[in-house]
């Protein structure tokens, strides 16, 4: 079904990257992308050109990617270059009208510049034809934004997204929830919602479905303190995190370090909804891209940024073969991995940490059998081969 539409369907990712380099935190053995790797998990490799992986390639002279859009090109359309379906996405803009600062790791943060980066990106995207929709991966405003300015700040960033010639799809991040109540954010960000939940799906072209997860479904932030989801989240934190300060991973080991207050979980009802969406997608032969503020694979993320129950979510995803990639934000340095079932995980770097005056653009072509990310300037390609089934 949809064969004519599938063949003609095209979409495009845009890539906006900064020129800041981050220290590597991965095992040197993981800085190779060759097929000799015993693990399917791969981390960034900045310093030296690696051998190309037969399945995936990743930039060596990589600069973090903040904004991108994508285009999907049908199997018979490889040699044609007139996409009719474009998307764009951003992660961790974390705008605030405050002076520059640094993360707790010392990475510079440019709170005012991030919105300029977004403006330039939107201007560029609008100069392209057939740009179709935009995805924002959360943390639209920074937690340091003065509370009395939060509403104005969020409205300002949403307005920039609205300057884009197409609809914007947003999701909740922890910084959003530090500033404003969940209910207010859902309205401002026009998130399709039932009973305060913020998960939904949409199908930009017949052969693809995007699933947007609410990683703060079970969370100690955002819900009223007497909400059952707040209680459930606090119970998790009390059980799993021995520290009085629940944002501290002190003394915690390995993946247990994800049980921090600034993370969250997907609840039982949402897991059942996800299962139904993926079942339906499989029945209709759709390929699925899962989007969430929180990363879902330890190979692509620091343990401290992982979703609490990433394993339960991935168990649902792995029941089906339709999910080709999981995209996320939150872990500002970014990451990439392929999990044990061949699902690709890409964590986008933060727009917030793009130094003033720097930005660059690229795109990801979505073919029937692969996603091909290429960037302008110094960005190197990433090809995610998913086989087309
Ligand atoms: Zn975040």
**Dist. CA 135 → ligand 1 center (Å):** 15
**Dist. CA 174 → ligand 1 center (Å):** 5
Contact 94, 107 (CB under 8 A): no
**Dist. CA 93 → ligand 1 center (Å):** 10
Contact 351, 92 (CB under 8 A): yes
Mean pLDDT by 10 residues, the chain (389 residues): 32 27 24 27 28 27 39 39 46 65 68 73 74 79 76 88 88 90 92 88 88 96 92 97 95 96 96 98 94 96 96 98 91 87 84 61 65 50 66
Specify the residue for token string 């913020």: 198
pLDDT at 146: 78
**Dist. CA 225 → ligand 1 center (Å):** 20
Provide the b/e sequence for 125-137 (b: ≥16 CB within 10 Å).
Answer: beebeebbbbbbb
Residues near ion ligand 1 (Cβ under 5 Å): 139, 173-174, 330
**Dist. CA 262 → ligand 1 center (Å):** 7
CA–CA gap between residue 380 and residue 58 (Å, rounded): 7
**Dist. CA 173 → ligand 1 center (Å):** 5
CA–CA gap between residue 62 and residue 203 (Å, rounded): 31
pLDDT at 220: 95
Residue 137, classed as helix, strand or coil, is: coil
**Dist. CA 243 → ligand 1 center (Å):** 21
Instruction: Output the six-digit token pair for 313.
Output: 């979510």
pLDDT at 343: 94
pLDDT at 321: 94
CA–CA gap between residue 238 and residue 240 (Å, rounded): 6
Q: What are the distances in angstroms from CA 234 to CA 75, 197, 214, 225?
A: 49, 18, 18, 10
Q: Dihedral through CA 79, CA 123, CA 166, CA 67, nearest 10? A: 70
**Dist. CA 61 → ligand 1 center (Å):** 25
CA–CA gap between residue 97 and residue 161 (Å, rounded): 18
Give 273's DSSP letter.
H
pLDDT at 365: 66
**Dist. CA 42 → ligand 1 center (Å):** 22
**Dist. CA 141 → ligand 1 center (Å):** 10
**Dist. CA 150 → ligand 1 center (Å):** 16
Residue 239, classed as helix, strand or coil, is: helix
CA–CA gap between residue 350 and residue 305 (Å, rounded): 13
Residues ≥6 apart with Cβ < 8 Å to 349: 17, 18, 64, 65, 66, 91, 92, 332, 333, 334
């Amino acid at each position: 079904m949809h064969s004519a539409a599938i063949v003609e369907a095209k979409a495009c990712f845009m890539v906006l990257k900064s020129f800041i380099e981050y220290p590597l935190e991965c095992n040197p053995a993981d800085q190779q992308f060759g097929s000799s790797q015993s693990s399917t998990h791969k981390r960034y490799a900045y310093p030296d050109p690696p051998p190309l992986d037969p399945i995936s390639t990743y930039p060596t002279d990589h600069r973090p990617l903040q904004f991108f859009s994508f285009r999907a090109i049908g199997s018979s359309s490889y040699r044609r270059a007139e996409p009719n379906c474009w998307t764009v996405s951003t992660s961790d803009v974390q705008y605030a009208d405050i002076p520059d600062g640094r993360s707790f790791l010392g990475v510079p943060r440019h709170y005012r510049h991030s919105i300029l980066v977004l403006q330039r990106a939107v201007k560029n995207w609008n100069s392209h034809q057939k740009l179709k929709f935009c995805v924002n991966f959360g943390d639209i405003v920074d937690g340091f934004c003065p509370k009395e300015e939060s509403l104005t700040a969020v409205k300002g960033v949403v307005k920039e997204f609205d300057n884009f010639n197409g609809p914007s799809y947003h999701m909740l991040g922890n910084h959003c929830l530090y500033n404003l109540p969940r209910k207010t954010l859902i309205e401002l960000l026009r998130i399709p919602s039932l009973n305060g939940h913020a998960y939904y799906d949409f199908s930009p072209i017949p052969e693809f479905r995007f699933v947007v997860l609410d990683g703060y479904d079970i969370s100690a932030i955002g819900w009223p303190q007497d909400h059952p989801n707040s209680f459930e989240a606090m119970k998790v934190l009390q059980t799993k995190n021995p520290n009085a300060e629940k944002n501290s991973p002190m003394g915690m080991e390995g993946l247990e370090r994800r049980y921090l207050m600034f993370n969250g979980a997907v609840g039982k009802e949402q897991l059942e909804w996800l299962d139904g969406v993926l079942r339906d997608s499989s029945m209709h032969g759709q390929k699925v891209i899962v989007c969430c503020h929180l990363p879902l694979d330890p190979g692509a993320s620091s343990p401290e940024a992982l979703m609490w129950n990433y394993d339960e979510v991935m168990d649902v995803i792995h029941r089906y073969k339709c999910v080709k990639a999981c995209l996320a934000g939150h872990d500002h340095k970014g990451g990439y991995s392929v999990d044990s079932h061949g699902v690709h995980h890409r964590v986008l770097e933060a727009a917030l940490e793009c130094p003033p005056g720097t930005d660059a653009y690229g795109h990801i072509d979505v073919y029937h059998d692969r996603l091909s990310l290429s960037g302008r300037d110094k960005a190197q390609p990433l090809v995610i081969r998913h086989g087309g089934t």
